[in-house]
Each structure stands twice: as structure tokens, then as C-alpha cells.
Amino acid sequence: MAKKKTSNTSRKNNQKSNFRNRLSKLSNWERVGGILSIGLFFFALYLLISLISFLLSGGADQSQLSLTAREILTNPNLKIDNVGGKWGATMADWFINRGIGLASFGVVYLLFIMAVKLGRIHKVSLSRNFGFGIFLIIWSSVALGYFMAPLYEQSYLYPGGAYGFFVSQWFNSVIGNVGTFFLLMATMLICIIIAFENAWPVMRKWMSRPKKQPATDTTLSDEEVYNTPKAPVINEKDDSFAKVVKEDDEVEVVYADDNNKEEIELELEPEFDDISPKKKAEDKKDDGPKDPELEVEKRVEDDVVASIQQDVLEDYDPTLDLSRYEFPALDLLKEWSTGNPQVTNEELIANKNRIVETLKNYNIEIVKIKATSGPTITLYEIVPAPGIRISKIKNLEDDIALSLAALGIRIIAPIPGKGTVGIEVPNRKPEIVSMRSIIASRTFQESEFELPIALGKTISNETYAVDLTKMPHILVAGATGQGKSVGLNAIITSLLYKKHPSQLKFVFVDPKKVELNLYSVIEKHFLAKMPGDDDPIITDVQKVKNTLSSLNMEMDDRYDLLKKAHARNIKEYNQKFISRRLNPEKGFRYLPYIVVIIDEFADLIMTAGKEIELPIARIAQLARAVGIHMIIATQRPSINIITGVIKANFPARIAFRVASMVDSRTILDSPGANQLIGKGDMLVSTGSSLTRVQCAFVDTPEVESIVHFIGEQPGYPTAFLLPEYIDGNSDEPGAVDLKNRDDLFDEAAKLVVMNQTGSTSAIQRKFSIGYNRAGRIMDQLEAAGIVGPNEGSKARQVLLQDEYSLEQLLNNL
């Protein structure tokens, strides 16, 4: 035991000493690195100061610096202004004027980087920094030599150094000025593309945006164009340059075209004696790679960013998917009205006389009477003599009706805001207000409403158009045969004439199954439905419930989107989306308006009651801001249908003729609808005002031609899909009724047997149906003994081996 213990402790001691050794070796290296780092850092700093000082005092030191390095360093009488002293001045001169010009600062940068790396002060990529750094140094030296050539003769400072000038001149002689310029540009761009991953896609976009380019492009290229001519003009400089240079020794370098070249060469070469041949060789090597200058990089980057912003600001066009969509033409609508006034002067005068006489019989004097005739009604505005009680005239409604022998007389006493009493008298020959004239009207065409609805004409023959987004939901009621369906068609038609399929979707609920069925043709353009629903027009009460729940989900989704986008309503949100301020990759999408139209609302309430009423009320309360609007219609305006909840949430109401004043009150909270004359004569209440309007007439064949015109155009692949609503109650396991098999049951069975995998998602994909429906089919397949039970994430086992046994099974079902 004791032995074991001692051997263990000695092993541990050995390990410890090994570790210490390694640690000390490691720390020795670190120390060396630290020493080198500090040495390099101070050298780099010294060089930097000397270089900066050279820029300031190089002119004064110039005469001394033309001596050889040995002379400068050994001669004690030489006075040098450079802060770095003789050594600093010589180095700076060597780096800047005789070397690589201002690109020398790049060398300082690299020295600093090396110091940082050696001292492990910060993580830096040596290869990247050196790779691009050396490119940049060489490139900028040559570029400065090329672009700043005129400065060489005017200043003691050679911006690109002798190297830059020499190389650029050599290029000039070989490929000409233009060639050198292109070479510099090309190498710079290539370097940018190598350095920045997304540089090329951005450049490509920038180049393919003809509209945006001019602004950014011209500014850039102008600068370049200005720079380029200066560089190649060497003749003038050469003379003066030669003067400086003449003092120096001769070395032969061959320049292509200029007469003064020799002089230039002479000046350059003495100090370059041994360097120039090497540089020549380097040039050739360096030709290939591209080395942009730091500043230039930044500049290009800035340009690039600017162009991205411009891209980003370019508006998204929601209509782009169906960019060739043609709006329905006016010709599809018929002209029903003759255009001639239907009310004759005789009729007007006769009516006026009867009104005056009747009122006279009750001792009511009239000061003034004025007639305004509309398409079906003429309004007689009377100003009673002073002292006459207005309520007295109001009570004479029946008497006036009797004397005029006309139905549908309504007295408005007083007309709000006018101080007159109005008597509405039906025209003997009512005029049909054709939808065509309403759609073509300036009021409608020039309206800037989000969801414009042209309802008809007012009593003064003006087009009556409203914005559904302002209503924001409409309750339509009226006895049967009074124009309700025509009214709904007029509403839908006016929206179809103004909106693109990308901007608007309808959800149609039609328990009667016939009224709205004709709109199924535009399923792929304008309709919204739940995934897996075959028929886009909802007729079944259960489906109505699911659809309303789905709409509630869509509404909640939209609210989330609005919240994330910091938008208060759909208009603001869509504006932000269009101006590309919302990223689709973060779940944002363009939101079309959704208009839910429910015909025969009474039928639904009778069968489903609160289950229908509450989701409708919820949508009506909340959905306005997210662009979901409802229009519900009923021919039974009783209080158990139009309940307090519904009324509270549908401030805009349209009443066609009803049988009793009670019904009128139920709809409008006031009498009047019982005095209408039918055939599209209606009262529109927008909460604050009540307007009598003759509804525009649109016939079923007209609607058919409009929907066919739209339906024949290419549409979206499917209807707009609402969120899938999973009804917890209907999916009871084991309650599969094989007598009511899904229409796709047989085909799905074949698919499953052929593939020998019972996968719900495969059924969903193959038949483009929702997950719910595919799941139901799979349950039916299980009940029929075609697939085994659910095995969690695994596909179900297929119990039939071939199609023959499947066929037998299907025949027996």
C-alpha cells in the first residue's frame, strides 16, 4: 500500500514538473514575442513620426537629402529639420520619395499589425492584413504615381514615390494612358470583390439599376475622368522635373514616347540603382493581383451602401405577380338609363300644386317651393310661412300621399342644415341608375378611397360613393325582392372595378347557395378560403363557423404584424411594406384587404346563433384597423336577427324597403325604410346622416361577364389562403364514418398503396389540400383497414400490398 502511495505521488510530481517546463517554455516565447512587439511598435511609431515630419519639413531638408545616406549620417554639420533626425529624414525620404510615396504609411500600418500580433495584444488576421495590405501599398503607389504625376515637378514630395511613378510610366509606355487607367480600375475592383463577399452582388445590382445609376455613377466617373487626363500629360512637368533630376546620375531606363523621359529616368534611378530592376520584376508579378487603396476601398464601399439604400427604397409592387392583369372594361356593363329626364315639367307643376293645395287646406302657407328631381324621387323643398309649426306638416304625410295618389312619400322636417321642409315624391316613371354610369362617373373614378363603393345616385342626381374602410362594416337589410341582391352586386362590382387582385380578397358566405355562386369564377384572383376547402363560396353553417374562426386568427396574425411593424393600421403597414421598410424574411407580408360578404345572415343566426354572432361581432369590433371589413345582408330585419351586439358593431346600415315601421326602426333606429318604393330605393345611414339613394342596377348577366373577364385572365395558383382553423370538436378519434368518405379517398388510397407509405403530408402535397383534410382522409384509410394506426412521427404501415387487393376492398366498402 505504502509503495503504491509513494509511486503515485512521484508520478504526480513528475507531471507537475513537466507542466511547469512547458509553461516556462511557453512563457519564454511569449516574452520574446512581447519584446519584439514593443520593439516593432516603437520603430513603427518612430517611422510614422518621421514620415509625417517629412511631409512638413521635407522641403527644407531636400538639399541635404540629395546626398548619399552615408554622407548624411556621418557629416556632423548637416542640420536636419525632421523630428526623426538624420536617420528619420533619410528613412522617410527613402520610403516616400525614392520608394513608394504616401503608400509608405501602409508599411507603418503593417508594422503596427505585426507588433499587435507578436505581442498577442489583439486577435488579428496576419494573412488577410498582409495580403490586402501589400496589394494596397503597391496599387496606391502606382495609382498615385499615375494620377499625381503633375505634382512631381511642382513639389519636393513625390506622392507615389519613384517606384509608383516609374511603374506607372512603364505601364503608360506599354499599354498607354487609357490602358493604365483601366488596369488600375480593374485591379481595384477585383480586389474589392475578393475582399468583400457581397461586393459583386451589390455591384451587379448597382449596374442593373439604370434609373438609380446616373446620380451615383456620374459623380464617381466624373472625378475619375478629371483625374485621368492630368496624369498622362507629362511633357510640361518633365522639363521642370528634369531640372531637379539633372544633378543625379544616369541609369538607362527605356520610356516609350516622351522626349523628356531620359531626364525623368535619370532623376529616379540614382537612388534606385539596385532597386529598379527588382521592382521591374515585381511589377510584372504584381500585375496580376489587384490592390486597391484603403481610402478608395472606403469610397467604393460608401457608394455601394448608397446604392443598396436606393434599392431598398425602390418600392415593392404588390401587383407584380399579376402585372398583366386587366381591369374590367366599362363595356361589360349595360347602359340602362336613357339619359333623358323622366320627370316632365307638367308632372312637377302638378305635384307642386297638389302639395300647396293640401297644405292650404290645413292652413299652412308656403313662402317658397323648390323641386329637385332625382332618378326615382323628386324632392320638393318648401319654406313655410313664419309661425307655422313644422311638426304640423310632418303629421300631414298621409294626407299629402293621398292627394298625390302616390306611395313612398316621405317628409323630412326640417332638412338638416337647410332650414326647409322636404317632401320626397316618387316619380311617375322611375329611371334605372345603371352601374355603368356610376362606375364611369368622375366622383367614382377620381375617388381616392381605399375601398370605394359606388352605391347609386342621390336625390340630387349626384353619384353616391363611400369608402368601405371608413364605414367600416355594413349591415344591409330589406324585405325580399326590394333590391338587396342587386345592392350587394353593385358593392362587389364597384370594388372589382377599382382594385387589383393583390389588394383585395373576398370571403363569400351564401347559405342560399345561389346568389353569390357566380363569383366562384374569380377564386384565384379575388377570393379567400381556408386551406382544403373545395368550394370558395361558403354555404355550409359549420364551414361558416370555421371560416369566421379562421378570420379571427388572420385578424390576430395581422395585429401581431402591425405591432411588430409599429404601424397603427393596415394602410400605414402596407405603405411601410411597399417602401421596403419591412423585411419579408422576418415574416412580414403585403396585406390585402379582406371583405367578408354574408348573404342571408338570418339563416345563419337561426341555425348557429351565438356561435356565429360572437365571432362576427369580434371581427366587427376589431378588424377595421387590419383591413377586414364585413357586409352582412338579411331579409328578416327582426330584433332576434339584428341583435344589439350586431347593431352596436355595424354603424353603417343600408335599408331597402321593409314592411313595417318597426322593421325600419330595427335597421335604422328611425322610420323611413317602410316608406321607400322598392326596386333599389334605399336609405343609407352612416351613423350621423340618413341619405336616400337610388341603388345602381347591375344585372346578373353583367356580373357574369365581369367575373368571366377576370376569371379568364391568369390568376394566382390558389385562392388567398386563410389560416387553417382546427376545430377541436369535429376531429374525434374513432368517429370515422366510412359512408361519408372524402372525395379524394379512393385516389389517396391508391397513392398510399402504390408508395407503400402512409404519410399524411404526402397526401397533403399530392392533392394540394390542407393538413386537416389530409389527416381526415388518413383516419378514413385507417378505418377502412388500408393503413395501420398512427405511429407518431413515423409513416403509418400500409396493410394492403397491391392495387388488386385495394380494388377489392374499395368495391366492398
Q: Mask: binding to ligand ATP, 420-449, rule CB under 6 A, as x and -?
A: ------------x-----------------
**Closest separation in Å from C-beta 702 to ligand ATP:** 12
Of the candidates 530, 455, 460, 515, the one whose C-alpha atom is nearest the C-alpha of residue 491 is 455
Give yes or no for residue 374 binding ligand ATP (CB under 6 A).
no
**Closest separation in Å from C-beta 700 to ligand ATP:** 9
Q: How far is CA 29 from the centre of its chain?
A: 57
**Closest separation in Å from C-beta 474 to ligand ATP:** 15
Q: Are 488 and 517 in contact (CB under 8 A)?
A: no
344 is in an annotated binding site: no
Size of the site for ligand ATP (CB under 6 A): 14
DSSP state, residue 451:
S
Q: Are 86 and 80 in contact (CB under 8 A)?
A: yes
Using CB under 6 A, which residues numbered 483 to 502 contact ligand ATP? 483-486
Q: Are 148 and 159 in contact (CB under 8 A)?
A: yes
Whichever of 105 and 697 has its CB closer to ligand ATP, that residue is 697
> Which contiguous run of DSSP H or E holds residue 538?
strand 537-538
Give yes or no for residue 378 binding ligand ATP (CB under 6 A).
no
- 291-302 burial, b for 16+ CB within 10 Å, e for fewer? bbbbebbeebee
Determine the 3-state secondary structure of 63 from DSSP.
helix
481 is in an annotated binding site: yes
Give yes or no for residue 261 binding ligand ATP (CB under 6 A).
no
221 is in an annotated binding site: no
**Of 525, 679, 692, 773, which one interacts with ligand ATP (CB under 6 A)?**
679
Please, where are the H alpha helices in 539-660?
541-565, 570-578, 601-608, 610-622, 644-649
Give yes or no for residue 676 binding ligand ATP (CB under 6 A).
no
**Closest separation in Å from C-beta 637 to ligand ATP:** 12
**Closest separation in Å from C-beta 482 to ligand ATP:** 5
Give yes or no for residue 677 binding ligand ATP (CB under 6 A).
no
Give yes or no for residue 219 binding ligand ATP (CB under 6 A).
no
Give yes or no for residue 567 binding ligand ATP (CB under 6 A).
no
- CB neighbour class for 551 (10 Å; exposed up to 12, middle 13-18, buried from 19): buried
Backbone φ and ψ for 593, nearest 5 degrees, come out as -70, 145
Give yes or no for residue 692 binding ligand ATP (CB under 6 A).
no
Q: Are 424 and 437 in contact (CB under 8 A)?
A: no
Q: Which residues pair with 366 in a beta bridge?
A: 384
**Closest separation in Å from C-beta 656 to ligand ATP:** 6
The Cα–Cα gap between 583 and 561 comes to 11
Q: Are 760 and 778 in contact (CB under 8 A)?
A: yes
484 is in an annotated binding site: yes
**Closest separation in Å from C-beta 692 to ligand ATP:** 13
Residue 133 identity (one-letter amino acid): G
Stretch that binds ligand ATP, among 77-85, 479-487, 547-555, 755-763 (CB under 6 A): 479-487
**Of 99, 318, 472, 478, which one interacts with ligand ATP (CB under 6 A)?**
478
Overall size of the chain counted in residues: 813
Neighbouring C-beta atoms of residue 613, cutoff 10 Å: 18
485 is in an annotated binding site: yes
Of the candidates 488, 471, 457, the one whose C-alpha atom is nearest the C-alpha of residue 692 is 457
Give yes or no for residue 480 binding ligand ATP (CB under 6 A).
yes
Q: Which residues pair with 721 in a beta bridge?
A: 529
**Residue 620 is placed in which grid cell?**
366587427
Q: Are 536 and 544 in contact (CB under 8 A)?
A: no
Contact partners, residue 53, CB within 8 Å, separation at least 6: 81, 82, 83, 84, 88, 89, 92
Q: Are 393 and 403 in contact (CB under 8 A)?
A: no
DSSP string computed for 261-278 = HHHHHHHHHHHHTTHHHH
Backbone φ and ψ for 472, nearest 5 degrees, come out as -95, -5
Using CB under 6 A, which residues numbered 617 to 636 contact ligand ATP? 635
Using CB under 6 A, which residues numbered 784 to 803 contact ligand ATP? none
**Closest separation in Å from C-beta 439 to ligand ATP:** 14
Using CB under 6 A, which residues numbered 146 to 205 contact ligand ATP? none
Stretch that binds ligand ATP, among 201-209, 468-476, 480-488, 742-750 (CB under 6 A): 480-488
Give yes or no for residue 44 binding ligand ATP (CB under 6 A).
no
Whichever of 369 and 495 has its CB closer to ligand ATP, that residue is 495
**Closest separation in Å from C-beta 483 to ligand ATP:** 3
Neighbouring C-beta atoms of residue 615, cutoff 10 Å: 20
Backbone φ and ψ for 255, nearest 5 degrees, come out as -100, 150
Give yes or no for residue 352 binding ligand ATP (CB under 6 A).
no
Stretch that binds ligand ATP, among 131-139, 290-298, 324-332, 475-483 (CB under 6 A): 475-483
**Of 234, 551, 695, 707, which one interacts with ligand ATP (CB under 6 A)?**
695
Whichever of 483 and 501 has its CB closer to ligand ATP, that residue is 483
Whichever of 486 and 594 has its CB closer to ligand ATP, that residue is 486
Residue 14 identity (one-letter amino acid): N
Stretch that binds ligand ATP, among 37-45, 276-284, 463-471, 482-490 (CB under 6 A): 482-490
Stretch that binds ligand ATP, among 27-35, 418-426, 473-481, 541-549 (CB under 6 A): 473-481
627 is in an annotated binding site: no
The closest residue (CB) to ligand ATP is 680
**Of 133, 592, 680, 715, which one interacts with ligand ATP (CB under 6 A)?**
680
The sign of the torsion formed by the CA atoms of 2, 6, 12, 15 equals: negative
**Of 37, 104, 482, 494, which one interacts with ligand ATP (CB under 6 A)?**
482
- 555-582 burial, b for 16+ CB within 10 Å, e for fewer? bebbeebbeebebeebeebbebbeeeeb
**Of 39, 59, 277, 481, which one interacts with ligand ATP (CB under 6 A)?**
481
CA 777, 518, 625 angle in degrees (round to 5)? Answer: 80
Whichever of 484 and 773 has its CB closer to ligand ATP, that residue is 484
**Closest separation in Å from C-beta 795 to ligand ATP:** 50
**Of 697, 709, 720, 745, which one interacts with ligand ATP (CB under 6 A)?**
697
Q: Which residues pair with 691 in a beta bridge?
A: 684
**Closest separation in Å from C-beta 654 to ligand ATP:** 11
Give yes or no for residue 279 binding ligand ATP (CB under 6 A).
no
Give yes or no for residue 609 binding ligand ATP (CB under 6 A).
no
**What is the torsion angle, in degrees rounded to the nearest 10, for the CA atoms of residue 352, residue 358, residue 360 and residue 363?**
-140
Whichever of 44 and 491 has its CB closer to ligand ATP, that residue is 491
Q: Are 187 and 167 in contact (CB under 8 A)?
A: no
Whichever of 478 and 637 has its CB closer to ligand ATP, that residue is 478
Give yes or no for residue 772 binding ligand ATP (CB under 6 A).
no
Please, where are the H alpha helices in 362-483?
390-394, 397-404, 435-440, 442-445
**Residues of each annotated binding site:** 478-485
**Residues of each annotated binding site for ATP:** 478-485
Judged by the rule CB under 6 A, the positions of this chain that interact with ligand ATP are: 432, 478, 480-486, 635, 679-680, 695, 697
